[in-house]
Amino acid sequence: MSSMTAPSDLPKKSVPAAPTRVGGITLFARREFRDALASKWFLLYTVAFTVLAVAVSFLSLSGVGSQGFAGFSRTAAGLLNLIMLVAPLMALTAGASSIASERERGTLLYLLAQPVSRAQLLLGKYFGLAAALTCSLCIGFGISGGVLAWRTGGVGVGAYATLVGFTVLLALAMLSVGVLISVGSRRSSVATGIALFTWLALVFVSDLGLMASSVLFKLRVQEIFGLATLNPLQSFKMAVIVNMNASLDVLGPVGAYASQTLGNGLPWVLASSLAAWIILPLALAVVLFVRRGSV
């Protein structure tokens, strides 16, 4: 965030002069952010996520909440399921419509006529959407965190901060994938369709497939763990759990194996899986967008 808002000498520049490399990105990031705020999806997703997160916080505390010892971990377990469904959906669809809709409307030509490179344009759009998504998530987590504080009178702030942090990472990773889809699609509707299919694949199909293959092929624990970390959603889930419990033994033999062999390095392995999901699709999207030449 700071790299976007920090040193830019924007106000001095008049429009015709070519902005600096960072300045160009910032310019488009801001434009994208403003567009996002003005659009319905930002409002819709923010409201939906906030309402669901508050509902989960309430439900997970009902029944035992009055007895006061309901720890954060069960609330987190409820939130985990919600986040793994909603956050990728938000980010994938937002990313998917980014370039494709401009292309479809014809505004992409106009944008490319500006004195900035194609890479700057794409990165600007990515950072703008990333900022909008982060804000959206922060609003949702902020309000449901307030509910938790009020209802339980004290839960692990560190654990909650971890959950927020990794959710932002997950959203950024899914946004990268969404932007990649968008770069490759001619029409906005096609991009959204592919994004929804990708969401289905990452959320359900890959897990079910891995379950089936671990049973059918009698995969060893290290193979299951390795394959699971390839899925950003599983990496996200394991990272949140390992940061909350200091161990993955909650996840049975596979988790215990990961905790024992990787030890303190485990959160870093999982975080770097997420980081790879942020960087690689975005880099590929930039390369494709630059090499495409035409609109």
Partner 1 sequence: MKPVQFAISICLFVTSLTHAEKAMQATLNPVPVSFVVELIEKAEPGDVIRVPPGVYEGNLIIRKPIILDGGQKAIFDGLGKATVIEVVAEGVTIRECAIRGSGMDVTGEPSAIRVIAANVTIESNTIEDVLFGIDLREAPSANIRNNVIRCKDLEPGRRGDGIRLWWSHGCVIEGNVVQGSRDMVFWYSEDLQILRNTVTHSRYGLHFMYSHNTVLEENDLNGNSVGVYLMYSNGITIRGNRMQNNRGASGYGIGLKDCDDITITGNALLANRVGVYIDNSPSSINSTGLIESNMIAFNEIGLLATPNTHDNVFTRNAFVENEEQAVTHGRGRLVTNAFSRGGVGNYWSDYAGFDLDSDGIGDVTYEPKSLFGVMLAKEPNLRLFVHSPAQQAIEFTARALPELRPESTLIDPSPLASPPEIKLEIVGTGVGGMRMFIFSASLLSFAAICIAVMGIERGMPAQNSGGRT
**Which residues ranging from 22 to 41 are in contact with partner 1 (CB under 8 A)?**
27, 29-31, 33-35, 37-41
Q: Give the residue, chosen from 52, 91, 183, 251, that forms a contact with partner 1 under the rule CB under 8 A.
A: 251
Binding-residue pattern over the window 84 to 123 for partner 1, x denoting contact by CB under 8 A:
xx-----------x---x---x-x---x------------
Q: Where are the alpha helices (DSSP H) in 188-265?
A: 188-200, 206-216, 221-230, 232-245, 252-262
Q: Smallest distance, Å, CB 37 to partner 1?
A: 5
> Are the C-beta atoms of 173 and 202 separated by less than 8 Å?
no
131 binds partner 1 (CB under 8 A): yes
Q: Which is nearer to partner 1, 130 or 282 (CB)?
A: 130
Give the SS3 label for residue 213: helix
Task: List the interface residues with partner 1, window 135-154 (CB under 8 A).
Answer: 135-136, 138-139, 141-143, 145-146, 148-150, 152-154
CB of 291 to partner 1, least distance (A): 26
Calculate Rg over the CA atoms of the chain.
21
Stretch in the footprint of partner 1 (CB under 8 A) among 75-83, 174-182, 261-269, 277-285? 75-83
Q: Which of residues 183-202 bind partner 1 (CB under 8 A)?
A: 188
CA nearest 288: which of 179, 198, 125? 179
CB-CB contact of 254 with 216 (8 Å): no
- Vertex 179, ends 5 and 122: CA angle to 5°? 50
Closest CB to partner 1 among 207 and 284? 207
Contact between 254 and partner 1 per CB under 8 A: yes
Total interface residues for partner 1 by CB under 8 A? 90
- Which residues fall within 8 angstroms of residue 137, CB to CB, at 6 or more apart? 49, 87, 164, 167, 168, 171
Place of tokens 């004290």: 154
Q: Kindly give, in sequence order, each residue whose CB lies less than 8 Å from that of residue 286, ignoring residues fewer than 6 positions away.
A: 119, 122, 123
Closer residue to partner 1 in complex, CB, 136/176:
136
**262 and 269 Cβ atoms separated by less than 8 Å:** yes
Q: Decide if residue 161 touches partner 1 (CB under 8 A).
A: yes
Closer to partner 1 at the Cβ: 71 or 265? 71
CB of 228 vs partner 1, minimal distance in Å: 6
Length of the chain: 295
Check residue 204 for interaction with partner 1 (CB under 8 A): yes
- Type of residue at 67: Q
Which CB atom, from 158 or from 265, has the smaller least distance to partner 1? 158
